[in-house]
Structure formats: structure tokens, C-alpha cells
């Protein structure tokens, strides 16, 4: 074999059957082959397992999918290149022209945009309600056939708690699929509810380090099978190296999430006592309007603490500029603590009435609590809050 050929066909290395790597290798290959044409054709007809082309599946991404499905308590999973990719591909795969989607004001802005702007262009209609309006949900589902009920819990950014049991019962009775963006709650929560499809941004808690993007759609096998071909041709494939990094991040998922929750709880309590703070939105506080529901539904109350400053937008600006440890940037769930103001949250497409119903004010701040020492974070917040008074 000439050297110019050899560099494209290097020697293969095969482990003995009793010799296993402790960490699975990264299958950084787009293409896979079988020994014969007959076996290739059997695979293409769905008669045997295997891997053929990365856009359809890959051993590294498949390992991640199976792990995530097990964590969420479901059969199967499809991973995507970003969290928004998971939302958009699921919505496109699950809806058709003439369908109706029930969604909520307190949803992630890109989710609202996809439903109200993108799906609308293809003849999918929607109703927008508040997550607290169960009577409205019941009326809507009774008044017209609905394909999807899509919601979040806790909601972004002010951590309202959806009554998951009620929403899923109403959806099931109406023949609609329930879709829960479970990113804030994490993979270990809400799996006991009758949710059809779970959405996650793997960019957040799964990775944990803020250096890789990904998304996941988790559901029972028949729903995943129905979506798989659409996902393949939509092309938002997760790269195997990104999948490996997320798998690595998941090794510390429970340690990180629970430590961050403990710190978030302490910070929420301190903020609730501060004179510059009008209201704290944290489901772990007894003063949260849905604390009892959150305690019933959740094992952990989450790492997101939102609050409203009495001084409104001017106070929020001074507060944000005074922070030292909290980075002013998007996303959440990473090891570093982050802060965003209402001006950074992208809800400007909501009219005044919807904005009021959303609960977001000009002085709303959302904190994502990281793994820094809690006392250091508290000191940083106290310094920044001092600039808002007087």
C-alpha cells in the first residue's frame, strides 16, 4: 500500500473482548460501513442495528440519548445541535397545517417566536394564555381540536410553577400531546407525570460548563420513531465531540445541581429580606404563590432566583453594572453565576397587556446561581444592591 493510500486507511485498532475503556471513545466519524453490501441493505431496510451516517445516528450521540432518556424516565431520545434546535425540530415534526397549539405567555421567547411567527406561516394556529389560567386552558381545549399543549415549569424568568398534573390531564382528555420544556427543572424532575414529550437545552445543566451547545427531545419510543426521519432531514445534528463533552458534564450533574440549589435557596432568602427588593421569585420560598405546588411536584427548587427591584429600570441598570462575580450574559445552569435584566430577556414582542400578565417588570433581574462560594455571591449582591438605594 502506497503511503498516500495508507494515510487515508490507517491501521485499525481493535480491543480484545475483555479489554474495555473506562470512558467510551468519541466516534468522530460521519460515515460507517458494514462488511458486505447485503448487510448494508439489511440495515437500510431496518432489518438490523448499526450505524451508517452521522446525521441519522452515531455511537457517541446514541449513548447520550439513551442516558438522557433513562434520567427522564422515558424510552428514547433525539439530541440536537442546540436547545432551540430541539424545540423547533419537535414543533415542526409534531404539527401539520391546520393544527392548533396551546402555548403560554410565560414561555421562553424563542418558543413563542417559533409558534407565533414560524409555525403560523405554515398554517398552524395558536392560543396564548397565562400558565396560571387553568380555566382558560379547559375552555380552549373544549372549544377546538388541539394538537399540542406546550409549557415550561418553572417558567423563564420568574419561576411560575405549572400545575403539571392538571395540564397533562386536560391535554390527554382532549387528545392533545403535552410538551414540557423541562430545562429549568432538570432531568431528574417531573418524570413521574403523564408528559408526552420533554424538551431540554443540554447547553445548561447537562454540560454544566457553558462551553458546548446541545438539545434533547425525550419521549416514548413510538413518538421518537415518528419524529426521527424529520429530525434527520432537518439536519440539526449534534456533533459527536459535543455529545462527548455533554456526557462528561453529566457525570457531575447531580452534585452540581444540588449544590447550586442550596446556594440559590440561601440567596433567595437574603434577597427577600433586603429593603431594595420588592419581590423575590423562587419556588423554594414559602412566600412564592405556588410554593406548595412546587414542593409537591419537585425534589429540588432549582438554581434560578429572580427578583424585582423597587427602583425599576434605573435601579436595575445600576445593580447590573455594579456586579463583579455575576456575569451579564445569557444562558443558565453553568458553574459560573450569571445575571440578566428584563431589558436583556427579549420579551419586547409582547404587548402591554401580555407584558403585565408575564409578571416581568422593568426592575426584574434573573440570577443563575453557579458554584462559587455562597458567601462570596452574597457579598457581590449586597454591594450591587447598595447602589440601588437612595
Sign of the CA dihedral running 88, 89, 91, 92: positive
Spatial CB neighbours of 199, under 8 Å, sequence gap ≥ 6: 83, 86, 87, 90, 179, 180, 181, 182, 183, 215, 216, 217, 218
Distance CA 161, CA 288 (A): 10
The pLDDT score that the predictor gives to residue 353 is 79
CA–CA distance from 201 to each of 114, 124, 226, 246, 297 (Å)?
16, 24, 21, 11, 21
CA–CA distance from 323 to each of 271, 348, 384 (Å)?
15, 25, 6
Distance CA 304, CA 93 (A): 30
253-386 maps to CATH 3.20.20.70: no
The pLDDT score that the predictor gives to residue 348 is 62
Question: What are the residue ranges spanned by the domains of the chain?
Answer: 37-250, 253-386
Greatest pairwise CA separation for the chain in angstroms: 80
The pLDDT score that the predictor gives to residue 309 is 98
The pLDDT score that the predictor gives to residue 359 is 85
The pLDDT score that the predictor gives to residue 358 is 84
Q: Confirm whether pTM is higher than 0.85.
A: yes
Nearest to 302 by CA among 270, 267, 327, 341: 267
In contact, 363 and 308? CB cutoff 8 Å: yes
CATH number for 37-250 (one of 3.10.20.590, 3.40.640.10, 3.30.465.10, 3.30.300.130): it is 3.40.640.10
Say yes or no: do domains 37-250 and 253-386 share a fold.
Answer: no
Distance CA 34, CA 32 (A): 7
The pLDDT score that the predictor gives to residue 4 is 86
The pLDDT score that the predictor gives to residue 346 is 64
Strand order of the β-sheet with 125-129 is 76-80, 215-219, 197-201, 177-181, 148-152, 100-104, 125-129
Beta bridge partners of 79: 216
Beta bridge partners of 177: 148
Proportion of the chain in helix, strand, coil states, percent, rounded to 5: 40, 15, 45
- Tens place of pLDDT per residue across the chain (390 aa): 999 899 899 999 999 999 999 999 999 999 999 999 999 999 999 999 999 999 999 999 999 999 999 999 999 999 999 999 999 999 999 999 999 999 999 999 999 999 999 999 999 999 999 999 999 999 999 999 999 999 999 999 999 999 999 999 999 999 999 999 999 999 999 999 999 999 999 999 999 999 999 999 999 999 999 999 999 999 999 999 999 999 999 999 999 999 999 999 999 999 999 999 999 999 999 999 999 999 999 999 999 999 999 999 999 999 999 999 999 999 999 999 999 999 887 666 677 777 778 889 999 999 999 999 999 999 999 999 999 986
H/E element, 126: strand 125-129
Amino acid at each position: 500500500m502506497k503511503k498516500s493510500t495508507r494515510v487515508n486507511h490507517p491501521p485499525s485498532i481493535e480491543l480484545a473482548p475483555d479489554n474495555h475503556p473506562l470512558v467510551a471513545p468519541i466516534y468522530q466519524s460521519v460515515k460507517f460501513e458494514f462488511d458486505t453490501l447485503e448487510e448494508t441493505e439489511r440495515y437500510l431496510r431496518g432489518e438490523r442495528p448499526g450505524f451508517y451516517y452521522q446525521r441519522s445516528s452515531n455511537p457517541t450521540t446514541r449513548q447520550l440519548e439513551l442516558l438522557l432518556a433513562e434520567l427522564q424516565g422515558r424510552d428514547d431520545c433525539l439530541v440536537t445541535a442546540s436547545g432551540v434546535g430541539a424545540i423547533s425540530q419537535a414543533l415542526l415534526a409534531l404539527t401539520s397545517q391546520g393544527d392548533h397549539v396551546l402555548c403560554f405567555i410565560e414561555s421562553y421567547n424563542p418558543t413563542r417566536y417559533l409558534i407565533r411567527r414560524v409555525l403560523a406561516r405554515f398554517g398552524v394556529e395558536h392560543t396564548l394564555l397565562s400558565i396560571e389560567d387553568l380555566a382558560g386552558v379547559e375552555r380552549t381545549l373544549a372549544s377546538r381540536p388541539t394538537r399540542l399543549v406546550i409549557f415550561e415549569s418553572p417558567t423563564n424568568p420568574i419561576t411560575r410553577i405549572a400545575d403539571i398534573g392538571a395540564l397533562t390531564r386536560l391535554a390527554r382528555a382532549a387528545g392533545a400531546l403535552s410538551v414540557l420544556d423541562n430545562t429549568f427543572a432538570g432531568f431528574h424532575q417531573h418524570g413521574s407525570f403523564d408528559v408526552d414529550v420533554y424538551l431540554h437545552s443540554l447547553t445548561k445543566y447537562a454540560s454544566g460548563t457553558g462551553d458546548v451547545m446541545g438539545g434533547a427531545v425525550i419521549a416514548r419510543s413510538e413518538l421518537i420513531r415518528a419524529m426521527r426521519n424529520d429530525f434527520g432531514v432537518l439536519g440539526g445534528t449534534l456533533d459527536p465531540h459535543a455529545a462527548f463533552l455533554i456526557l462528561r458534564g453529566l457525570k457531575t450533574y447531580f452534585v452540581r445541581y444540588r449544590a447550586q440549589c442550596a446556594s440559590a435557596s440561601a440567596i433567595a432568602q437574603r434577597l427577600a429580606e433586603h429593603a431594595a427588593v420588592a419581590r423575590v421569585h423562587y419556588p423554594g420560598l414559602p412566600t412564592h404563590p405556588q410554593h406548595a405546588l412546587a414542593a409537591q411536584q419537585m425534589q429540588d427548587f432549582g438554581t434560578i432566583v429572580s427578583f424585582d427591584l423597587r427602583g425599576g429600570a434605573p435601579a436595575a441598570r445600576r445593580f447590573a453594572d455594579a456586579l463583579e462575580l455575576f456575569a451579564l450574559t445569557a444562558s443558565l445552569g453553568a458553574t459560573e453565576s450569571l445575571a440578566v435584566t428584563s431589558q436583556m430577556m427579549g420579551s419586547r414582542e409582547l404587548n402591554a397587556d401580555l407584558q403585565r400578565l408575564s409578571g416581568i417588570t422593568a426592575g426584574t433581574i434573573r440570577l443563575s446561581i453557579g458554584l462559587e462560594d455562597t458567601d462570596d455571591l452574597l457579598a457581590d449582591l449586597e454591594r450591587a444592591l447598595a447602589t440601588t438605594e437612595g
